Chain A
Amino acid sequence: MSSIRNPETLSALDRPNSYIGKTVPRPNLDRLLQGRASYVSDMELPRMAHVAFLRSPHAHAKIVSIDAAAAKLMPGVIAVVTGGELAAVITPWVGVLSHLKGLKSAPQSAIAIDRVCWQGEAVAAIVAISRAAAEDAAEQVAVKYEELEAVADMRTALDPATPVIHSSLGDNLAFERVHDAGAVDQAFAASDAVVEAEFVFGRHTGVTLEPRAVVADWNAAEARLTIYQGTQAPHMVQNIAALHLGLREQQVRVVCKDVGGSFGIKVHIYADEMATYALSKLLRRPIKFVADRVESFNTDIHARDHCCKGKIGVKRDGTILAFEIDDLTGIGPYSMYPRTSAIEANQVVNLVGGPYTSKNYRARARVVFQNKNVMCQYRAVGHPIACSVTEGLVDLAAMKIGMDPVEIRRRNLIADDAYPCASPSGLRFEQLSHQASLTKIVEMMDYQALRADQAALRKRGIHRGIGIASFIEVTNPSAAFYGVGGAKISSQDGVAVRLDAQGSVICQTSITEQGQGSEALTAQIVGSVLGVSMDRVRVILGDTDMTPYGGGTWASRGAGIGGEAALQATKVLRKNILDVAAVILQSTPAELDIVDNAVINVSDGAFRIELNELARIVYFRPDTLPPGIQPELMATKHFVPREYPFAFTNGVQAAWVEVDTDTGFVKLLKHWVVEDCGTIINPQLVDEQIRGGVVQGLGAALFEKCIYDERGQLTNANLADYLVPMSGEMPDIDVGHVVSPTKESELGAKGAGEAGTAGAAAAVTNAVNDALKPFATIITEIPLTPQVILTALGRI
């Protein structure tokens, strides 16, 4: 472990009663475990009505007519609202960002007006006294469609014979990026071996336990809309809702209490949520929308669905000379709002080859429209694609030149003392630890012993494989992610802390909690820096009326950005408290410290005054303080990284698998991760983030896929047919750490939320190919289903 650098930080974070680096129970656990959490799905408000959306059964069709007369007569129905009618209160939007040059999309409405562009797009809202009544009435709405040809296959989306989904855009190409660094052609020419492969990634989705849920409450008397929503970014929702409803942001309050999982699914603005806000304004009453599971599959953003050609050039000594990729992805009919659907492909271009020293890199990424559900950012945006392509190519190169997969990585990963440096795609790295991480994982897994096991079992017809995948992860994004492109998505976060009248601390933070531990890590930082016990720190988040302005929790930014804001705010509060204490105690601030909820002497640790007592004097007997002393027991600080656009983290994963070559089934025997997220605030939270991320990556590797037919119909929109990873199939996951704190902040924390997902599928795919080595077949498609494996083995 490298040490934390500056002595002042030592005093703030390494105090005798510090919670930093300790596994402490999450303050919200009791609330969640005793069933006292506040989920939007459970909310009831007076006069609240429920909306069900009638959704298109066609992937692409003209809406000829909508007859809602019978539905309006059904019991309990309050209104049936079409897209045209709703357009009176809400404007359409276009999901583009100016820094993604050339990105185009078409205006999207809250409810389709004259054309539906994917199976599942809403065509009418049925508002009733209960969801069941709304669903009954939805069956009575008669919609006449004229079916149009659906663009289902991304590979043919750009063919001249394929219909253009939005004629105003001219073609189905939403975005294209090309990148060329170094001298790629010369590098391939100078290579001893050049290997090419096409990597195919299934479309999948987040499957949150609690579906998307919103209650919108327009209070006409206050001219104010309160939106209760499970979201990762309350201020973003506030901005977008206000913008499209013709309100000032101040007229919109977004409240986000407990959220049953998000994984990036809940960081976007969905048409049906916009419709719900608008319906509340139109009908002047609270309206609730909770997506059911089928709707979730048809409308929650999907992700991945890439087809990426890759090429690597390598010398006989293992030196990687060049990478080249050509990536294609289909994003549905619209670029998602407001973060756009070009980010994933853009990330793939950014990240391929990122861990390695090779400077020659050429890439093209094309993003095409299709008549399927919208695609956008989901946990580890682009990372699993980039990592699988890069690490798959590295293994293929190693195989070709007969080199061990660990050895080729050792020879090509950027040296730990080479920082700061930049990748061939222009990413700047402050300090990574690829070599130390690789060394550590090789030890953890006892690599040589595993290789010996593998060889012994091979003789008995048991085919096991080892897969390694090094990765980099984008965390702590600055304004470079969205702000520079014109999106009103804050990259800074704010924290306000105040001492209450009994010496406890109220902390308001703009980061949000969806289960990852934002509340816990904030309390740990505040308690440690101030010198109070965690049970005295109450953290308030998820309310645009109550917290400072900020981005929220996404892109692995909560701890690194919100945590630093908490640290800095608490330092100010601490100074302010010590200033008052010095006055009360006729001492100087430098002679005093706060430990265990009391002010003490620095010199001998002697107790001086309880914070409780100090607060009593400040709030109730300020008359006893000397003239001119005005204590400020509340402090606010904001933070955003400025030096680096992103705080990159790194790590490596390894998988040990067994392939049953008769059945094509893969058994995950063991998984290892070493990652470097800088300062670790709560080891258990970090490790469980890693494990949870790995499981989502393993889901992509073996199970999860949204299966569309050739007409653009999603055919497995339920939890029986869409296979999420279950505990029974999951291996033990060992997690280790290397710690390289970022110098951008005093806290030194980088993100950890997506590292697990970034590399898991790459490790498993490499392991399966390692297991299948004697069969001379290479599989570069996930999920690795028994059908895929048996086909590759020529068994069926």
Chain B
Amino acid sequence: MKASAFAYARATSLANALELLATHGDKAKVLSGGQSLIPAMNLRLVSPELIVDIGDLGELRGIAVKGETLVIGALTRHADLLKSSHIVKCAPLLAAAVAHVAHPAIRNRGTIGGSLAQADPASELPACMLALGATIVVRGKGGERRIAAEEFFTGIYETKLGPQDLLVAIEVPVASPGSAHFFQEFARRHGDYAIVGLAAQVMRQGDRFADLRLGFFAVGDTPVLAKAAAAMLTGAAITPELLAEASAALASELNPHEDQQATPAMRRHLARVLLARCLATLLNRPDLQTGAGV
């Protein structure tokens, strides 16, 4: 398990990185935290000719609040997200989710930009981006593009990023007062990729939801914003019957795969369990816990 030989360039500036990518295109791979790329190279699943290491680009690292927007540099490590008071205050969903990203050693090196660019449909952060309505900031040959998270993830390990693009930052709307979140995933062992997970960001109004964004992951080629289920549950009095209907709608919104952990039917079942637990938790309604027809 040794990577095949490759050339290595440590980018000295964003411009330099973009220049290297422009020159080498898909023969190059960007090295950020390396937590997905390096194992894939060692297994010889990918054999890039050139590694463009962006680790020195300090301008891509850090977390800041600009008005109503939380800006997270692409090179910000998971461990930094976990420690940041900005994240706890402005995007507590993200703080909850990051604790489930792998293990401390991986969180110490892995970056948010790397995770989003990798776009593993079973990973936590892409689904959080959907739930939070984040914007992905990309720099490429033609300058800067801002892509809504909902548009960004296009397939398994596929995004709107081209071979000459670099993901530079993530913009997340600062959580409004009165908003709430829910994060849970089912994984065989803590730190594993989830069998199914849910990242939800909501606005409550009394005992109802004024807004409900349900970001499911490990339920298909991309993370899924369950809009049909959310629409049924928004603004309505939540009864077990309504939850059952929303669960049925949810099941048809998902297109899960079969793998060694679960069949599609099991994933749909677990997604319904998560929806019920999400509502029961956020509305403090234990009666909803088993009301999703599960």
Contact = CB atoms under 8 A, between A and B. Distances in A.
A292 interface: yes
Contacts of A584: none
Contact of B265 (A132, A136, A718, A796): A796
**Which 8 A-B pairs give the minimum distances between C-beta atoms?**
A132-B2, A292-B1, A728-B190, A796-B266, A796-B265, A662-B273, A726-B189, A796-B269
A131 B2 CA distance: 7
Interface in A80-124: none
A147 interface: no
Contact of A723 (B189, B262, B273, B294): B189
7 contacts: A135-B4, A294-B43, A702-B188, A723-B189, A786-B261, A787-B263, A790-B266
Contacts of A796: 263, 265-266, 269
Nearest to B269: A796
Contacts of B137: none
Given A786-B195, A795-B269, A796-B269, 14 more contacts: A132-B3, A135-B4, A135-B44, A136-B5, A294-B43, A716-B260, A721-B260, A785-B188, A785-B261, A787-B262, A790-B266, A790-B269, A796-B265, A796-B266
Contacts of A787: 261-263, 266
Name the interface size band of chain B. 20 to 34
A428 interface: no
B269 A729 contact: no
B260 A726 contact: no
Given A662-B294, A796-B266, A723 B2 contact: no
A716 B260 CA distance: 8
Contacts of B290: 461, 662
Contacts of A721: 260
Interface string A686-725: 0000000000000000110001000000011010110101
A718 B262 CA distance: 18
A726 B190 contact: yes
A618 to B, nearest CB: 55
A795 B292 CA distance: 12
Contacts of B17: none
Interface string B164-189: 00000000000000000000001011
B191 interface: yes
Given A292-B1, A663-B273, A703 B265 contact: no
Contacts of B211: none
A575 interface: no
A132 B5 CA distance: 8
Interface in B249-294: 260-263, 265-266, 269-270, 273, 290, 294
Given A294-B43, A715-B260, A786-B262, A723 B188 contact: yes
A285 interface: no
Contacts of A702: 188
B2 A135 contact: yes
A663 B270 contact: yes
A132 B3 CA distance: 7
Contact of A726 (B43, B191, B193, B195): B191
Interface residues of A, number: 31
Given A662-B273, A662-B294, A796-B266, A786 B2 contact: no
Nearest to B259: A721
Contacts of B53: none
By CB atoms of chain A within 10 A, which of B270, B290, B294 has the most?
Answer: B270
B2 A665 contact: no
A15 interface: no
A530 to B, nearest CB: 45
Interface in A279-302: 292-294
Interface of A: 131-132, 135-136, 139, 292-294, 461, 662-663, 665, 702-703, 707, 715-716, 718, 720-721, 723, 725-726, 728-729, 785-787, 790, 795-796
B245 interface: no
By CB atoms of chain A within 10 A, which of B5, B186, B266, B294 has the most?
Answer: B266
Nearest to A665: B186
A729 B192 CA distance: 12
Contacts of A461: 290
Nearest to A726: B189
Contacts of B190: 726, 728-729
A294 B273 CA distance: 35
A432 B44 CA distance: 54
By CB atoms of chain A within 10 A, which of B1, B190, B191, B261 has the most?
Answer: B1
Nearest to A52: B2
B106 to A, nearest CB: 11
A723 B188 CA distance: 8
Contact of A728 (B3, B189, B195, B294): B189
B191 A294 contact: no
Contacts of B193: 720
Contact of A729 (B2, B189, B265, B273): B189
Interface string B23-59: 0000000000000000000011000000000000000
A317 B188 CA distance: 41
Contacts of A292: 1
Contacts of B2: 131-132, 135
A703 B1 contact: no
B123 to A, nearest CB: 13
Nearest to A50: B2
Contacts of A723: 188-189, 192
Nearest to B270: A663
Contacts of B266: 786-787, 790, 796
Contacts of A132: 2-5
A176 B204 CA distance: 67
Contacts of A795: 269, 294
Nearest to B264: A796
Given A292-B1, A662-B290, A663-B270, A728 B191 contact: yes
Nearest to A133: B2
Contacts of B44: 135, 139
A790 B260 CA distance: 15
A707 B290 CA distance: 33
A293 B1 CA distance: 8
A729 B190 CA distance: 7
A292 B39 CA distance: 13
A728 to B, nearest CB: 4
Contacts of B188: 702-703, 723, 785-786
A787 B266 CA distance: 7
A172 B290 CA distance: 50
Contacts of B263: 787, 796
Contacts of B191: 726, 728
A723 B261 CA distance: 11
A456 B44 CA distance: 54
